[in-house]
Amino acid sequence: MEFKNELSLRVEAAEDVVCRFLPDVEGMQKTIFEAMEYGVTAGGKRLRPILMNETFQLFGGKGDVIEPFMAAIEMIHTYSLIHDDLPAMDNDSLRRGKPTVHIAFGEAMGVLAGDALLNYAFETALNAYDADTDVKSVTEAMRILARNAGVFGMIGGQVVDVEAEKKQLEVTEDMLHFIYDLKTGALIEASMMIGAVLAGATESQVQAIEGIAKNIGLAFQIQDDILDIEGDEATLGKPIGSDIRNEKSTYVTFAGMEKSKEEVKRLTDEAIAELNKLPVHNEFLVELLSYLVYRDK
């Protein structure tokens, strides 16, 4: 299997799914539709919807019930990036090589575009009830999506991250793991768990997937910290060194570069080992997990 070719095909397919669910740019409020589309189509890697679909395939999922959730998870991810870039948060002007949404459309519209994508994500996911599938599974997938995007998931991690930065709190290892597990890991966990649930995986299999995704989410964020120091700005599509400029505590500043790289490898190796223990197998998914944390952008 030529991984990069296979990944390109899956990115293209995921892009098609996500864009198909975006609202038409029309009406008196068309500016918000333009801003939503601008944020979503700015060149993302589509890793979360791909992870979701590959886990769905891993457990033998059939049909198009997965598609509304693929689009919804990417909308939620994009909304979080739009809000992260705002002046009150990270105050970034470049995202994926393009001006951030609030730079392109104004700060107020940046706030509203994020709000719109979050709401529209759930409206989109609700389309899964129209598919010929188990209603109980769709409801459980909705619960996972809502919880992992909210105060017990991504937003909860962002709260602790912002408070630590603004109040200049001393960040402990436990606090850093909490932030990473929720802020970054929660949507990765949601992606893989939803794929498993909609495919009819058993409760123990869903729990195993949650543990695998938790490790990958943490490794993914540590790799982000590494790339913020060692990455190439042109490849990343955003300025490097923003964590240092913002005096933000990261795993690298806490543990050092060498230990950070060791931790990325340990977490990834453990996740892949657990994935290989499952009675089902998806070669591309195994390769994808490695790619997620050994990427250069």
Asked whether residue 247 carries a pLDDT value surpassing 80, the answer given is: no
User: Tokens standing for 283?
Assistant: 């070669």
Bridge partners of residue 98, in order along the sequence: 95
Q: Which domain holds residue 127?
A: 3-293
Q: CATH no. for residue 53?
A: 1.10.600.10
Cβ of 119: how many Cβ atoms within 10 Å? 12
Q: Kindly state the average pLDDT of the residues 176-185.
A: 92
Q: Do the Cβ atoms of 72 and 131 come closer than 8 Å?
A: no
Cβ of 23: how many Cβ atoms within 10 Å? 16
Number of domains within the chain: 1
Q: Which helix (H) or strand (E) holds 95?
A: strand 94-95
State the Cα–Cα distance between residues 33 and 102, nearest whole angstrom. Answer: 14
> Could you please report the per-residue DSSP string of 52-116?
HHHHHHHTT--SSTHHHHHHHHHHHHHHHHHHHTSTTTT--SEETTEE-HHHHH-HHHHHHHHHH
Q: What is the pTM of this model?
A: 0.91
First CA to last CA distance, the chain: 22
Bridge partners of residue 99, in order along the sequence: 94
Q: What does the pLDDT read at residue 296?
A: 66
Q: Model confidence over 59-85: pLDDT tens digits?
A: 999 999 999 999 999 999 999 999 999
State the Cα–Cα distance between residues 165 and 222, nearest whole angstrom. Answer: 18
63, 192, 73, 71: which is closest to 131 by C-alpha?
63
Q: Model confidence over 137-165: pLDDT tens digits?
A: 999 999 999 999 999 999 999 999 888 87
Residue 238's pLDDT band, with cuts at 50, 70 and 90, is very low
